[in-house]
């Protein structure tokens, strides 16, 4: 899932490590989310959006990404053709 975490984080002047501390995850988790290698739980996505004082839809862009979601990987890519 695409996201604006890096853009928002940099505009606030906080590091990946600082964001991780604010939401209770590692810097590595923030890196994985920013690079679309990991999709956060809805609760983590909510916490991240609260740090940026934005609606979740402004942080996480629910559109087709180059990376398939975990659910799409499990069932194949048949729904997106």
Total domains, the chain: 1
Q: What is the pLDDT of residue 67?
A: 58
Q: What is the CATH number of the domain that holds 66?
A: 1.10.260.40
Q: What is the pLDDT of residue 62?
A: 79
Structural domain includes residue 20: yes
List, for residues 4-29, the tens digit of each pLDDT value: 999 999 999 999 999 999 999 999 99
Which residue segment(s) compose the domain that 70 sits in?
Answer: 2-75
- Residue pair 23/48 in contact by the 8 Å Cβ criterion: yes
Q: What is the pLDDT of residue 81?
A: 42
List, for residues 52-79, the tens digit of each pLDDT value: 999 999 999 977 655 555 555 565 655 5
């Amino acid at each position: 899932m695409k996201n604006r975490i890096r853009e928002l984080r940099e505009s606030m002047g906080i590091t990946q490590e600082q964001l991780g501390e604010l939401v209770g995850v590692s810097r590595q988790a923030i890196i994985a989310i920013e690079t679309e290698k990991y999709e956060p739980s809805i609760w983590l996505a909510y916490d991240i959006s609260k740090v940026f004082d934005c609606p979740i839809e402004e942080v996480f862009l629910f559109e087709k990404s180059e990376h398939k979601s975990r659910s799409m990987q499990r069932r194949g890519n048949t729904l997106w053709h």
